[in-house]
Structure formats: structure tokens, C-alpha cells
Amino acid sequence: NFSDLYLADGAVINLGDDQDVTLTHVPDVGVTLSHNATGDDLPLVFKLKSEEDAITADETIARIDFEAGDSDGTDAVLPAASIAAVAEATFGSGDNSTKLTFGLGESVTSVGRTCFTMDHDGDFHLNRDSRSIKFGDSGTQIALTHIDNTGLSTNGDFTVGDDLLLNSDSAVFSMGAGADVTITHDGSTGATLASAGDFIID
């Protein structure tokens, strides 16, 4: 019936008959969970386990929340980041498909505010409109940006591999900052090359 447990700086909690797993206090930093066995292929496993038997689609299985101190109150006390395992379908004997969701706070709690998702197929989703994937350091970033209900744009030259495929009939390939040169697929027989100025064939 003890309510509190106090351990000294650097205290160690040993687990197992062989004391092979330890939880060690790191003064002024936090704790370290260690697997001290020296054999091959003995990873340290930290498991978050729900004993709920009926897992349905879109239900959170387990979640890790990150919070700051509560001295400032209001938004500052809300979870600032969250990582959750969420069921993609109702679990059964042949299905435990799950996605990982990552939530980040912005004057609201991070819980339920999904910014990006990795689904069970390995697909990566940006879950908010007008978001970008950025490449390079802060001085030379190239951004691939979502345009609402339209597609994607880039702030640099767009380079692809061996082939470029525009899947839609009547697709338009535009060139130039003002899209002044276009190649337009006519949907059935060919394509039209158009320019706001002269064509130069060299």
C-alpha cells in the first residue's frame, strides 16, 4: 500500500532473474532502459500493449505524448507532439493492419491533429492541404508543394528519371515561369505545341 517510491541519483532498477534488463536514473537528464545480455540478436523491446479485445477501424491502439512544463498554462500545457498506432480496419484473425500517425501542436493539442501518416503499405501521407516536402538545407531548399484540388508544384527545376508520364487525357505540359510554352495532349490522337512567342528549331 505504498504510494510513492524515492530512489537516489543514479539508482538502478534490475529486472529478471539474471538482472538482464535495467532501468537506470540519469541525474538531471532522465532514465535509461538497457538490455545487458551480451548474446547475439537480443534487441531491447519496449512494448506498449492494449488489452482491449475489440479493436475497430480508426481506433488508437497506443500513443506516446510529449508535453512541456505547465507553468505558462493554457496552450503550453497541452501535448505538443504525439505518435500513435491507429487501426486501419477492425482487427481479426487475419487482419491487424495499422498506420502510424504523427501529430504536432500549434495552439491546440497535438492529439487528434494528424500532420502526416505512414500506412501499413508503406505509403507516406501529408494530411493537410498546401503542405510541402522540402529537400536540402535551409539555404538551398527545394519544395514540392501541394496545391489544393489541383496537384503539386515545385520551386525549382523539375527533373525525373528515364520517363515522364502524364496520366490524364488532355494533360498539359507547361514550360517557363509564365507557362508560355505548352504541349497539350488532345485526348485521342496526338498533341499540340503552343507558344506565346516564336518557335526556334536549332
- C-alpha cell recorded at residue 24: 537506470
pLDDT value at residue 84? 95
Cβ–Cβ < 8 Å for 181, 175: yes
Cβ–Cβ < 8 Å for 114, 103: yes
pLDDT value at residue 35? 93
Q: Mean pLDDT in runs of 10 for the chain (202 residues)?
A: 91 94 96 91 92 94 90 80 95 95 84 87 89 83 85 76 81 87 88 88 84
Helix/strand/coil percent split, the chain, to 5: 0, 35, 60
* pTM flag (> 0.85): no
pLDDT value at residue 148? 85
